């Protein structure tokens, strides 16, 4: 077991301490940053390259347009026009995507916040963040926790939230995966267990009810290569479930299984990566399709849709999301 390692990296733009925490060893080793609660690096013992994308320079996370490795929220994905009505009261939240809709909780969402290191050991770290009532326009003071833990070749991400007023809570890990270290993910094969997906308009807002994946480019139930453009939510269930399989990713003899409790899995093929020239974990900057983001979450725009209950959080309740990543070598 590797020794837990905490490094002070300086001061974040908000004036708070900036740290990295390394956990694991023997199987998986993860490096987590307090800014954005980001998973900066994830490596499997005996595997030559990292299995996630990350900025080599920790300071790059202060301006992270691709959300590499960050925990996004308080509402992951999009809210149409940045507006919703909750318990009869209208709310206008930050419209940080093209001035039109709210993306990933707004311009100062959880990915752009300094989380506090609450507790750590060799195999886990817990970070905390308090968002004030009215932050980015959302109601309710929201008390959040993010726990990364390793066991052998498995990484578990546990997210929880409690609010003092009725609100929406929908956090997600925005890690990008690349199992080979190649410049793109074209040699990867993806399997998604969902039988339905959400068709969207040009703004990436759902057009209505989920549609069957059968007969469409979005049917990944038998594993398939990554050829069609992907920036879509796949619908596992109508509500949060027990931990269960959502997707697998395989390339070059390495197999990754993603299990989650979340009703949706948003899959983004990284087409817009490469907008910055910052070095990645292997030195070179990332280009388009350098990694695939698999983001367990509620379905998008829930506050304005019939599936609003997926992300609704009332006082006295605990919102809880768990995702488990497991790696194994295959012949």
d(CA 224, CA 246): 15
**Contact predicate 198/206, CB 8 Å:** yes
Burial call 146-178: b when 16+ CB within 10 Å, e when fewer: bbbbbeebbbbbbbbbbbeeebbbbbbbbbbbb
- Omega into 74 within 30° of 0, i.e. cis? yes
Q: How much is the average pLDDT of 105-131?
A: 98
Question: Tell me, what's the pLDDT at 4?
Answer: 67
pLDDT, tens digit (0-9, with 9 covering 90-100), for 37-75: 999 999 999 999 999 999 999 999 999 999 999 999 999
d(CA 264, CA 237): 7
pLDDT at 325 over 60: yes
pLDDT at 15 over 60: yes
Enumerate the active-site residues. Answer: 174, 295
Of the pLDDT bands very low, low, confident and very high (cuts 50, 70, 90), residue 25 is confident
Higher pLDDT, 227 or 98: 98
Question: Which residue has 């956090």 as its token pair?
Answer: 171
Question: Tell me, what's the pLDDT at 1?
Answer: 38
Question: Tell me, what's the pLDDT at 276?
Answer: 84
205: its two tokens? 């807002």
d(CA 71, CA 67): 8
Question: Tell me, what's the pLDDT at 193?
Answer: 97
Question: Tell me, what's the pLDDT at 26?
Answer: 78
Question: Tell me, what's the pLDDT at 73?
Answer: 98
C-alpha distances in angstroms, 60 versus 65, 70, 273, 276?
10, 12, 14, 10
Q: How much is the average pLDDT of 252-279?
A: 95
Closest CA to 140 of 80, 77, 75, 67: 75
Sheet holding 154-163, edge to edge: 116-121, 124-131, 142-151, 154-163, 319-329, 254-260, 244-251, 189-192, 224-225
pLDDT at 3 over 80: no
d(CA 54, CA 22): 14
Domain that holds residue 253: 5-329
Q: How much is the average pLDDT of 78-82?
A: 98
The continuous run of DSSP H or E covering 35 comes out as none
Q: Residue 44's beta-bridge partner residues?
A: 28
C-alpha distances in angstroms, 307 versus 38, 94, 111, 209?
28, 22, 25, 10
pLDDT, tens digit (0-9, with 9 covering 90-100), for 271-321: 999 888 899 999 999 999 999 999 999 999 999 999 999 999 999 999 999
d(CA 299, CA 150): 28
pLDDT at 171 over 70: yes
Of the pLDDT bands very low, low, confident and very high (cuts 50, 70, 90), residue 164 is very high
pTM over 0.75: yes
Give 204's contacts (C-beta < 8 A, 6+ positions apart): 78, 231, 300
Count of the separate structural domains present in the chain: 1
Give 37's contacts (C-beta < 8 A, 6+ positions apart): 70, 71, 110, 115, 127, 129, 146
CATH code of the domain containing 47: 2.70.98.10
Average pLDDT over all residues of the chain: 96
The percentage of residues in the chain with a pLDDT greater than 70, rounded to a whole number, is 99
**Contact predicate 238/299, CB 8 Å:** no
């Amino acid at each position: 077991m590797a020794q837990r390692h905490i490094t002070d990296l300086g001061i974040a733009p908000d004036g708070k301490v900036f740290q990295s925490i390394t956990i694991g060893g023997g199987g998986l080793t993860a490096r987590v940053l307090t800014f954005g609660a980001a998973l900066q690096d994830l490596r499997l013992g005996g595997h030559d390259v990292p299995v996630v994308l990350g900025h080599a320079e920790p300071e790059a996370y202060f301006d992270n347009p691709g959300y590499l490795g960050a925990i996004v929220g308080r509402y992951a994905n999009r809210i149409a026009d940045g507006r919703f009505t909750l318990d009869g009261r209208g709310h206008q939240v930050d419209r940080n995507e093209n001035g039109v809709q709210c993306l990933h909780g707004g311009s100062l969402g959880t990915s752009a916040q300094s989380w506090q290191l609450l507790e750590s050991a060799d195999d886990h770290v817990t970070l905390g963040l308090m968002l004030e009532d009215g932050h980015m326009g959302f109601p309710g003071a929201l008390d959040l926790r993010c726990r990364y833990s390793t066991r052998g070749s498995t990484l578990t991400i546990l997210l929880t939230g409690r609010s003092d007023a009725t609100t929406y809570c929908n956090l997600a890990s925005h890690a990008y995966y690349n199992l080979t270290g190649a410049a793109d993910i074209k040699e990867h094969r993806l399997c998604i267990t969902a039988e339905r997906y959400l068709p969207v308009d040009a703004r990436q807002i759902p057009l209505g009810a989920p549609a069957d994946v059968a007969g469409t480019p979005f049917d990944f139930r038998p594993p398939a290569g990554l050829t069609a453009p992907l920036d879509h939510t796949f619908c596992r269930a109508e509500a949060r479930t027990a931990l269960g399989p959502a997707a697998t990713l395989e390339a070059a003899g390495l197999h990754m299984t993603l299990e989650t409790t979340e009703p949706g899995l948003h899959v983004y093929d990284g087409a817009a990566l490469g907008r910055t020239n910052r070095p990645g974990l292997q030195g070179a900057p990332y280009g388009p399709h350098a990694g695939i983001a698999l983001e367990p979450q509620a379905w998008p725009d829930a506050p304005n849709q019939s599936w609003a209950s997926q992300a609704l959080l009332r006082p006295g309740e605990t919102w809880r999301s768990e995702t488990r990543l497991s790696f194994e070598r295959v012949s």
